[in-house]
Amino acid sequence: MEDDAQTKRAKGTGWRHIYDTLHDEILSLKLQPGQLLDETSIAERFGMSRSPVREALIWLAGEDLVVTLQNRSTIVAPIDVLSFPKYVEALDVAQRLNNRLAAELRSDQDLAAIAARQKDFEAAVHQGDWLKMSHANMQFHMAIAHAGKNLYIASFYERLLKQGRRMLHLHFEFIERTTDGYLLTDEHNDMLEAIRLKDIERADALAHAHTRQFRDNFFDFMKENYATGVNLTAMRRTA
């Protein structure tokens, strides 16, 4: 009877298990950009039919993590390096605006929420878990966005942060390899302090510097590892 109950639960939630697994594997780059996601192979891997696989892929497509091609095959969404300067431009605007609003409008409850998310990020850093770090990083910045009290700007910012999590994974790898520690924890603490003091201009400046550091480290990582055929110097000037 217990096995039957587990089977029934699996039928209702199997897509979620597939989604969660593929989601984490895509964000951690275990599944590489452009890699083919064959429904039959995935179904065999999880011991399920193709129906929950399709549902999981639909949800992943909704988060821009997979792409369906004209021949109806599905691949892991490529990381478009050429559009990265425009992405960073949008991220910079959203990040600065949310920090400014948070510094102006934050409550004591907002400060407590931001501080709690920062502790989560620091714990993930100490564990050396990049996937947890990217999630905690997003939650930290979204706590700031919620403190700014503008749902529309916060929603736009959240989508940008989600789109950038794979690039942030490369960013973490580069920082770990080229520095003595994660400078991001200090940057986050400085942001929190500026917001606590309601120092709008400093919160803005810190957000801008935070984005530029992410941009520069990502370019350096790509130049070192992948993008030998791309003029990253010119791209850096436009970002």
Instruction: Write down all domains in the chain, each with its CATH number in brackets.
Output: 2-76 (1.10.10.10), 81-238 (1.20.120.530)
| pLDDT attached to residue 125 | 87
| pLDDT attached to residue 6 | 44
CB 75 within 8 A of CB 32: no
| Residue ranges for the chain with pLDDT beneath 50 | 1-10, 228-236
| pLDDT attached to residue 128 | 82
| pLDDT attached to residue 211 | 94
| pLDDT attached to residue 237 | 52
Q: What predicted TM-score, i.e. pTM, was given to this entire model? A: 0.81
| pLDDT attached to residue 11 | 54
| pLDDT attached to residue 43 | 95
